[in-house]
Amino acid sequence: MESAGSLDTKFRRWLQNPYRLLKQYIIEGLTVLDVGCGPGFFSIPLAEMVGPAGKVIAADLQEGMLEIIHNKIKSTDLEKNIQLHKCEKERIGYTGEVDFVLAFYVIHELPDQKKFFDEMFSILKPGGYFLIVEPKMHISKKDLTTTISQSGDAGFQLFDLPKIFLSRSVVLKK
């Protein structure tokens, strides 16, 4: 929780602008899962991008992060299309289907990536995309190759390797 402030700053918005990073994947009406949403750095822009017909599931293990988002969207139009979801300790635990999954700086913290990829594959609709972004300081190129391999074991196909500042990134497709 103490890192919540550093996760949502003007400087970060300049370096990792959610609209610029996600515009090629997100259209109005989509259902998006933001895994490890933190204080809503991506969830809120995603909700604006999917519009009133879309939905964002802001999922986090920490109740405090979900409370921060709730306070940001309370009494706004975005409150209608952001669903706050408390993850379980060993899994996300969301049972619906989504068109797009975002896992930004999350994968390196997971104890069981294989289990996570299996769960994401079951949630993502056929033809859906999954963007994984990891900090270069936490994962090597070899680690990213392992991540891609594990995602392939779950059924995902490599779609793209976008360049994101100070990050290693992959877009997967179901």
Between 158 and 15, residue with greater pLDDT: 158
- Model confidence at 150, pLDDT cuts 50, 70, 90, reads very high
Specify the CATH number for the domain of residue 62. 3.40.50.150
For residue 97, how many C-alpha atoms fall within 13 Å in the half-sphere facing its CB? 6
| CA–CA separation, 153 and 151 (whole Å) | 5
pTM of the model as a whole: 0.91
Q: Side chain identity at 66, as an amino acid letter?
A: L
- Total of domains in the chain: 1
| CA–CA separation, 125 and 110 (whole Å) | 23
Q: What angle do CA 59, 125, 131 make, to 5 degrees?
A: 55
Mean pLDDT across the chain: 92
Residue 167, pLDDT > 70, answer yes
Domain that holds residue 15: 4-173
Residue 16, pLDDT > 80, answer no
